[in-house]
Amino acid sequence: ELINWHRETVDVIVNTGIDYLAFETVPALKEAEAIVQLLQEYPSTKAWISFSCKDGEHTCHGEKFSDAVKVAASSPSVVAVGINCTPPQYIKSLLKSSENEIGDKIFVVYPNGASYIGGGLWKKNENNKNLCAYVPDWINAGANWIGGCCMIGSQQIQDIRQAMVDTIAK
């Protein structure tokens, strides 16, 4: 079912001339397995898979993030594996937990700026810390592409970019 569900979208998108497909906010290992299997049908298409995680070690469904990274990184079509739609305080631990599974793939991270609590309400992240304050730790933990997901605006993206430039320059 998951393969067929994704196939409908992939069939439409791959014919548009895209550079990469982004499979985002994947909550479960089983869905990553379906995506990897589906990508075999599109050998010239490149993609990344990013997972949503509930803590510093597990996907939202409860599997070890490192197991999910291993599955995603096993596909020759996948160029990057990462984390999105996840509180920023978990990113470093997630990256470190899977550093032996990423192989030659790129780590991509774009966490939330706040946590959704339901009813259209959001709660600011731990210590109200700006995402750019995490950037040096994420880079040191292996992140290559860094951005933001829910509740992140253009100014925060500019701040993240500057933090990346500053970190790399050191």
Predicted confidence (pLDDT) per residue in 80-119, tens digit: 999 999 999 999 999 999 999 999 999 999 998 887 778 8
Residue 79 to residue 144: CA distance in whole angstroms: 12
Is the C-alpha dihedral spanning 90, 93, 97, 98 positive or negative?
positive
**Domain architecture of the chain: domains with CATH:** 2-169 (3.20.20.330)
Interval 5-33 mean pLDDT: 94
Cβ atoms of 48 and 80 closer than 8 Å:
yes
% the chain with pLDDT above 90: 79
8 A C-beta contact, residue 78 and residue 45:
no
End-to-end CA distance of the chain: 48
Instruction: Give the three-class secondary structure for 152.
Output: coil
Over residues 113-150, the pLDDT tens digits come to 887 778 888 887 665 568 889 999 999 999 999 999 98
* Closest CA relative to residue 25, chosen from 48, 42, 3: 48
- Among 86, 168, 99, 96, which Cα is nearest to 131's? 86
Instruction: State how beta strands 106-110 and 21-26 pair.
Output: unpaired
Return d(Cα 62, Cα 122) in angstroms, integer: 23
The encoded tokens of residue 114 equal 């706040």
* Residue positions forming the annotated binding site for Zn(2+): 85, 149-150
Annotated binding-site ranges: 85, 149-150
Q: Helices 29-39 and 2-13, interaxial angle, to 10°? A: 50
Q: Using an 8 Å Cβ cutoff, are 39 and 6 in contact? A: no
